[in-house]
Structure 1
């Protein structure tokens, strides 16, 4: 079998075919342009499935372990078909051609960078960093080159932002999926970057560089302190990048405070929590599922903020309070459980009967106080960094945190473990807090 570096290099060479699509897009006939854009990848898929036999040197170069079983280059064929699908969308449905080129290059060359980094250093973080850095650099260059060859125009900040986002998303998907799922990664990254392009964030170069640098540094610190697993770190970095660019520094300050203090609270008296059976798994390192469960509602609020009012006829400030409310709820839930779980005699929120520490839906007055302190921290940051949030807005955010904490406890006492899991409960609690923020902002005329 060939080495993983050599195989990754061969896939990167196939990915380079994406640069032919800008030329094809310039053809006057849409039908001819579609054929010209998709043909290189369709030819590769055909040869991978029917023309390259298992006894040929070419098969050995591209074959993944599973391909040897049936003597077909399924991985190469699927990758080529995914690229052809995106090329079709670029010609027929308006996916920016340079976004298509950047997507294919990010995945193909990022994988090559990951394999080279892993060959030099076996640490998983180093290998993933190789993917992100290589994918980001090559994706940015590919976007600019494709744009200059007739595939439209792209501003440098936009190319940097989308390439960075694409590299992080691809690295995250690859860390939780199998290697053979690269076609899914290609399609997912391409569609996400298309969405972000349509939102037109319009951030300057300096802000994008700050977003990339700050997010990467804080993400690594979280991983180094074991407050997040590798997928959790990638998820946090991605959310931080999107929040800074699409929302702003005040939005990021709230989010990173939750990540930082929430992670540290998980580590607080960890051995005592282990003795009580309430400690987080993996020594408190939060994975991507946990991070997303607490942040997905906030992320949607950021995207909706960026989409309003140009794409949505909605006052943007509503989404600010949805975001702040969701983050406050995540903070209250984390503080109340991590600190409140250290105290005896919790009571079930639905019946007030005494239960064992760690029981879903069990609360202590100390945990409630800790949760409100967490909400107040988020509210204070919002008021200090965002002019639109005054004393009334800060009080509203604290109220959102309390609502989220209460909903989390009620759901924990009633449906957690039977209808939904812990992560589902967290998501629903933050959603309830976000909706509370929107409703209260409308009721109190804060917009």
Structure 2
């Protein structure tokens, strides 16, 4: 057994100790955490130190990796016992991270194929997360445990799968020593998702997972997304289906599919011009989040308004149009950039002076037309799938996409490279498209 596997095994045991909270109460859990931390402080060398130490711990001669890991668990536990977060979420998160890490280390001993390692992590992490929640129900619900587990199994699977995907994504973009950050992030996400009270049955959750995983892997296999981009897409797709619906998902996936394929359009020519996406056009998590973060916030807003978590009882339709406006912007901007960049003589949007291909803020008439077509595609899909989107609503979605595409170009010409990065520009552009779309719908509702 290698050192990383042994260390992961011990950390998984430490995570299992969180079951002391539902079994004996917060005081018992805190006492166990204190013993582990004091023990970690006392061990500064020797075989036990070698067993538990991350490579960075040797420089300081302290088991800071273990200490911060336990402190993260303690912080999450404190949130669970002092807020509306349930103990089931706390225990499920701890077991998810601990056993997922162990599975990844075991898989790494046998293969260096990243997809296999990520798959092992997600499968075991999700299973451990669901098991942790179920065991907590058994320990706390007494005679009603079986009924409680049965009734909440769809939610437990949703939280376990969503938490596993987020943990895998964070581990891919961070370092293995950042597991405390992973644990806190996963716990907070699962808390939020539990508060949204998803009502789907078990079959619907399984179907949503199957659809998003299949399409996510297809994006990776077609080299339109990196592993991080694949994980991000699967997570966002799962949240969209469960909290919004398949109509919302179709709108979002249309952007991922068409936008991803557009990056392959005349790729060799783009490479020659120096404007091609890195990694053979495969989009990473930053690109996916930059274009889709606002859309997912709109989905969460829609679910929150439906669950009456928002003060003032906002109209859920506004979140639908904000979602469509942000996706329309993302589609419009992506097609404009990917198609317009292969044509000669782009002009800077602020001065209309000719600039080199790939210059931030440079536009071509072909790219602008492609962008309008992209916004129209999103509007057309929305019109077909959502009764709330009338012909006027579809026109608003097109207008919002064009506005967002223009904002992207203006930010590219003025702030990108100096104040903002590309993903920041994408985020602000999609945000502007979402706001414009929602405001126009609201204006028509009030004055129309």
TM-score range, shorter chain: over 0.9
Alignment-derived partner of residue 389 in structure 1: 389
* CA distance in 1: counterparts of 2:261 and 2:18, whole angstroms: 44
State the partner residue of 2:309. 311
What's 2:41 paired with? Answer: 49
Match of 2:114 among 84, 103, 124: 124
**Unpaired runs of at least 5, structure 2:** none
Deviation at 1:2, TM superposition (A): 4.7
Structure 1, residues 71-126: CA drift from partner, whole Å, max 9, x if none? 32211111111111212222222320000000000100000111111112211121
Match of 2:97 in 1: 107
Q: CA contact under 8 A between 1:328 and 1:398: conserved in structure 2? A: yes
The TM-score with structure 2 as length reference comes to 0.94
What aligned pairs does 1:310-389 form with structure 2 within 5 A after superposition? 310-312=308-310, 313-389=313-389
Q: 2:73 aligns with which of 77, 83, 101?
A: 83
In structure 2, relative to structure 1, the CA distance for the partners of 1:298 and 1:329 (3 Å cut) is: same
- Number of residue-to-residue matches in the alignment: 437
Q: Say if 2:270 is the partner of 1:284.
A: no
Deviations 1:233-269 (A, max 9, x none): 1111111111111111011001111111111100111
User: Which residue does the alignment assign to 1:245?
Assistant: 242
Which of 134, 140, 144 lines up with 1:144 in the alignment? Answer: 134
Corresponding residue to 1:63 among 53, 65, 72? 53
Cα distance in structure 2, aligned partners of 1:177 and 1:183:
11
Do 1:42 and 1:81's aligned partners in 2 also have CA atoms closer than 8 Å? Answer: no
- Rounded to whole Å, the distance in 1 between the matches of 2:237 and 2:223 is 18
The structural deviation recorded for 1:319 is 0.4
- Counterpart of 1:204 (choices 180, 201, 204) is 201
1:195 and 2:187 correspond? no
Q: Shift in Å at residue 394 of structure 1?
A: 1.4
Give the whole-Å Cα distance in 1 for the aligned partners of 2:350 and 2:32: 63
Per-residue deviation, residues 187-240 of structure 1 (Å, max 9, x unmatched)? 111111111111112222222112211111111111111111111111111111
Work out which of the residue numbers 202, 211, 219 in structure 2 matches 1:214.
211
Cα distance in 2 for partners of 1:93, 1:412 equals 43
For 1:148 and 1:164, how far apart are their aligned partners in 2?
21
Which deviates the most, 218-227 or 313-322? 218-227
3-state SS of paired residue (2:27): helix
Greater than 6 Å deviation, 4+ residue runs: none
Return 430-439 or 359-368, whichever deviates more: 359-368
Inter-partner Cα distance in structure 2 for 1:42 and 1:298: 42
TM-score normalized with structure 1 length: 0.94
Per mean C-alpha deviation after superposition, the further-off stretch among 296-305 and 66-75 is: 66-75
- Cα deviations across residues 319-376 of structure 1 (Å, max 9, x unaligned)? 0000010001000000001011111122221222222222211111111111111111
Secondary structure of the structure 2 residue equivalent to 1:242: helix
Secondary structure in structure 2 of the residue aligned to 1:263: helix
- Mapped contact 1:2–1:61 kept (Cα < 8 A): no
Alignment match, 2:13: 13
2:252 to 252, 255, 263: 255
- Distance in 1 of aligned mates of 2:50 and 2:84: 37
Give the superposition deviation at 1:3: 2.4
Displacement of 1:61 in angstroms is 2.2
Residue 37 of structure 1 corresponds to 29
Q: Distance in 2 between matches of 1:425 and 1:48?
A: 45
**Contact kept? 1:219, 1:234, Cα under 8 Å:** yes
The equivalent of 1:28 in structure 2 is: none
Match of 1:269 among 245, 266, 277: 266
Provide the C-alpha distance between the structure 1 equivalents of 2:2 and 2:31, rounded to a whole number of angstroms.
27
Alpha-carbon shift at residue 66 of structure 1 (Å)? 2.0
